Amino acid sequence: MKTTDKEFEKLRDYMYDRFGINLSQKRVLIEGRLSSMLVQRGYKDFTSYIDDLMKDKTGQEASLLVSKLTTNFTYFLREAGHYDFMRDNVIKPMMEKNARQQLRIWSAASSSGEEPYSIAMTAADCLGFNRNIQVSIQASDISEHVLKLAREGVYAPDRVAQIPPSWLTKYFSKTKDGNFAVKSDIKRMITYQYFNLNDTIRWGQRIYDVVFCRNVMIYFDKPTRQALIKRLYDALTPGGYLLIGMSESLINLTTDFIYIQPSIYQRPAEKASRQETHL
């Protein structure tokens, strides 16, 4: 099923205005991802689907559309160096203080849960029986569909293939149908909620010690990335870390973030002068 110019422009503008996702060069992707769904649901063209999308007040249609048009490709311990960095540069230094502390982490595009569960398992494995550090993980996404999957926390064998066997035994239970369910003690570390990163409200100030916002900015144009980076900076505690996708960078964005290594940035303990980042 093909889109007319008007249909394509309506979907393109809807995704940009509501979610900041730039699909200007993705007409083929839109047609490829949506056509079979529209046919299955009895739509004769994109116009009637768009009309229903615009009239839907529940948010279910928008959530389904986002799930179809964004990749949502993820797996446990993806870009594993980030978890090692968090362990060695955040959790272990906190443990050395031997004092009661709270570690607050945000998985800002949590998809179907692999990222926040990987964060939780990394923290649990490092902390062991240490009860001085309380770990709180906030996970969010713009798709209620993937949030539902994340809350359920049940994965097919191929989805957990890269998890170390010891973690699989320690942090998962095998279900009757052969899948793997995240154990409740790991689940309790995480709170899931719907959140649109392009909303200008409901942003906490200086709340998080670590923010994972990975493989999200690839969907945004420069003005949207610039606005998002400013909000992420404000959401971090001084000295906190921002982890983005390995294929992403803050090149040519105006930011006070300090470059640590590829895909890892830090909010300085004391505010430095704002400057253009050229890496």
Residue ranges of the chain that CATH labels 3.40.50.150: 81-276
Which CATH number among 1.10.8, 1.10.10, 1.20.140, 1.10.155 corresponds to the domain 5-69? Answer: 1.10.155
Placement of tokens 């240490």 in the chain: 130
Q: Which fold has domain 81-276?
A: Rossmann fold (3.40.50)
pLDDT for 249-267, tens place per residue?
Answer: 999 999 999 999 999 999 9
Q: Which CB contacts under 8 angstroms, 24+ apart, belong to 17-24?
A: 18/62, 18/196, 18/198, 19/66, 19/142, 19/196, 19/198, 20/197, 20/198, 20/219, 20/220, 20/224, 20/228, 21/66, 21/69, 21/70, 21/219, 21/220, 22/219, 22/220, 22/221, 22/224, 23/69
- Mean pLDDT across 72-80: 83
pLDDT for 144-194, tens place per residue?
Answer: 889 999 999 999 998 898 899 999 999 999 999 999 999 999 999 999 999
Q: How confident is the model at residue 72 (pLDDT cuts 50, 70, 90)?
A: low
What pLDDT sits at residue 71? 65
Residue ranges of the chain that CATH labels 1.10.155: 5-69
